[in-house]
Structure 1
């Protein structure tokens, strides 16, 4: 199947602008990192700095990302001075915008406020569907994995114990919410997708409030991304299910890179520089994992309102995420199908959402194999 549909069903239509977004994933939402607790309402203002060397076809480019672990390639690669993405852009002025949630990143892309952004799978589907396939292309991967169902072992010790349990997700209709609803359905539990009521109570709680809800006994667990999962484990939770267990080879897209279609058409050399810097950054992270964690934490502290993560959260959370260039296109398709099955989406054609030509060109230069678009690539 090479096409799925992603327009909202009538009951969920009013939720789409914020619901089908990547989970907030911001470290602030876990009590660490950025101190904002508003899911996307108080995104950090743009900052800009020129690197050394001649500019490319665009005098400036604005890049969006989240201040969290699954966006570590951006956090590390855009560091002032030695960030490899920054180096590849030469003299082109670089603006950055830090987002707390996917919907605001898509809005900024559509408004021309950012040209390229690191983002999760569901907001990319959202942006594609709402624009009729006119707003964006996915040009590279960035990260896989990093989500788990973690529970209070005193109340939930097995999948069978989920009956009657209260399980939190960061946002109605977000990536983890869809994953949980789909998983519960496959396990035979019936849950109304909009209200969250049913055999299992699915509670949509802001990431910033999930640890307190866990500590207060208001929830029995949560299906959450890193570092929220590691944060809860540090508070006594146990991992009941690593989401990677549900995917082939344990891999599924959690962060990829999208570019505004107009910017991609007018400035392919700039997008290529960003992609090349990303490939170099991911290679460096893979070769220097401990140094990468230190670099990430230091860069995090330099961001507006940022602070470093404690080791008992940083280490397991960072190790739970795989940084890779492949956007894992087939998993985007499955994720969209899961959203349809969960009752939060109707179907729409995703053909053309990918343009991996630049990425594959860079990979060829690096002697690495091409990656596949699962039949969802733009036609030549």
Structure 2
């Protein structure tokens, strides 16, 4: 073979080998890119599963229970428990038998809390008995149940000192209550009627005007109110800060109960039952540890109102409170009768299913 032919053949072989090398490198790059794409695809799938799974896992691990209460000492169990939750050692959270988060919601008076039941914004609430009866009537007995008693006493009719010495002196006077239709509002109107003093929603022999407790104190101090039917600590504040005096009170009056929304009680009967038992246990603890209970009530009220609350005020108000979990249908029949007398309820109402039976 001529030398020039051999040389040409060698050159062709060299070009073929170089081409094969290029193809090989391209194939390696393609294989690596494919592996990288597969890895990214698997990573994205894992991230999507993680995003979907984590909330589900958290929901499975932690049940949220929404509980309402008022910033009044008559809701002592809620104030103490809320303070414990705030400190990371929740009373109810540790007694539910599973991971639970308690969300505490604050209301000024009972009708607002009952509205939260109807909108399913809360599951249980500490509340006065009259709004419970009104809500039970409104929902035809299908939405509200009383789970337990909570507090007796702690409410009073306070008058400006030396101005009212008899019930008849209240004629033509202005009397404040915390909210239209709340327990103190209904009781005030029914009591006035029993004294022969006619009152209506717009007037009568005396004016009963719904007024928030902070405004009540201010107006009382300014002598724009003659009397107020309210609860602790406002009773004590009206006495100490606005020259008021107690004209009428019933130390055995049912002031606060624990109520549950029927939908929650049916769907989470076991949790509701454990909450009820924990509520009873907390009431026993409060009675056995009054000093720490009063301190926690003070701390929680100070945190809620962002105003330093006097321990002396809490201690004085506490003398008019009687924590008590007993409950029967008789007081609610009386509240129903009072609501009828003052015109808040006209329909026929059956209270036989009002008390919850787990």
Q: Alpha-carbon deviation of 1:334?
A: 0.3
Paired residue for 2:202? 195
**Contact 1:282–1:325 (8 Å) recurs in 2:** yes
Paired residue for 1:211? 217
Paired residue for 1:280? 281
1:331-370 aligned within 5 A:
331-346=331-346, 347-355=348-356, 357-358=357-358
Residue by residue over 1:197-252, the C-alpha shift from the partner in whole angstroms, topping out at 9 and shown as x without a partner, is: 31x3333333221112111111221111112211110121111111x1xxxxx423
Give the length in aligned residue pairs.
Answer: 295
Q: Alpha-carbon deviation of 1:354?
A: 0.9
1:60-75 aligned within 5 A:
60-75=64-79
CA spacing shift, 1:284–1:302, aligned 2, 3 Å:
same
Q: Alpha-carbon deviation of 1:292?
A: 0.9
Paired residue for 2:53? none
The reply on whether 1:123 has 2:131 as its aligned counterpart is: yes
**Contact 1:184–1:190 (8 Å) recurs in 2:** yes
Give the SS at the match of 1:168.
Answer: strand
Q: Alpha-carbon deviation of 1:57?
A: 10
| Separation of aligned partners in 2, 1:75 and 1:261 | 24
Residue by residue over 1:135-180, the C-alpha shift from the partner in whole angstroms, topping out at 9 and shown as x without a partner, is: 1211111111211111112211233422333322223332222212
CA spacing shift, 1:318–1:182, aligned 2, 3 Å:
same
| Separation of aligned partners in 1, 2:78 and 2:239 | 26
Residue by residue over 1:14-66, the C-alpha shift from the partner in whole angstroms, topping out at 9 and shown as x without a partner, is: xxxxxxxxxxxxxxxxxxxxxxxxxxxxxxxxxxxxxxxxx999833222222
Give the SS at the match of 2:92.
Answer: helix
Paired residue for 2:322? 322
Q: Among 221, 229, 233, which residue is 2:227 paired with?
A: 221
**Contact 1:57–1:269 (8 Å) recurs in 2:** no
- Indicate the RMSD between aligned Cα atoms, in angstroms: 2.4
Structure having the larger proportion of residues in helix: 2
Paired residue for 1:240? 247
Paired residue for 1:146? 154
TM superposition score normalised by structure 1: 0.71
Paired residue for 1:184? 192
Moved over 4 A (4+): 55-58
CA spacing shift, 1:202–1:263, aligned 2, 3 Å:
closer
TM superposition score normalised by structure 2: 0.76
Q: Alpha-carbon deviation of 1:352?
A: 0.5
Q: Among 97, 100, 110, which residue is 2:108 paired with?
A: 100
CA spacing shift, 1:188–1:107, aligned 2, 3 Å:
closer
1:272-311 aligned within 5 A:
272-303=273-304, 305-311=305-311
CA spacing shift, 1:187–1:120, aligned 2, 3 Å:
same
Q: Among 237, 243, 250, which residue is 1:231 paired with?
A: 237
Rg larger for: 2
Give the SS at the match of 1:63.
Answer: strand
CA spacing shift, 1:180–1:290, aligned 2, 3 Å:
same
Paired residue for 2:144? 136
| Separation of aligned partners in 1, 2:110 and 2:316 | 24
Give the SS at the match of 2:291.
Answer: helix
Q: Among 80, 83, 104, which residue is 1:76 paired with?
A: 80
Paired residue for 2:177? 169
Paired residue for 2:25? none
Q: Alpha-carbon deviation of 1:86?
A: 2.4
Paired residue for 1:362? none
**Contact 2:111–2:182 (8 Å) recurs in 1:** no
State the structure with bigger RCO (CA 8 A, min sep 6), 1 or 2.
Answer: 1
**Contact 1:84–1:280 (8 Å) recurs in 2:** no
| Separation of aligned partners in 2, 1:118 and 1:72 | 10
Give the SS at the match of 1:100.
Answer: coil
CA spacing shift, 1:94–1:217, aligned 2, 3 Å:
closer
Structure 1 gaps of 5+ residues are: 1-54, 245-249, 359-380
Structure 2 gaps of 5+ residues are: 1-58
CA spacing shift, 1:187–1:111, aligned 2, 3 Å:
closer
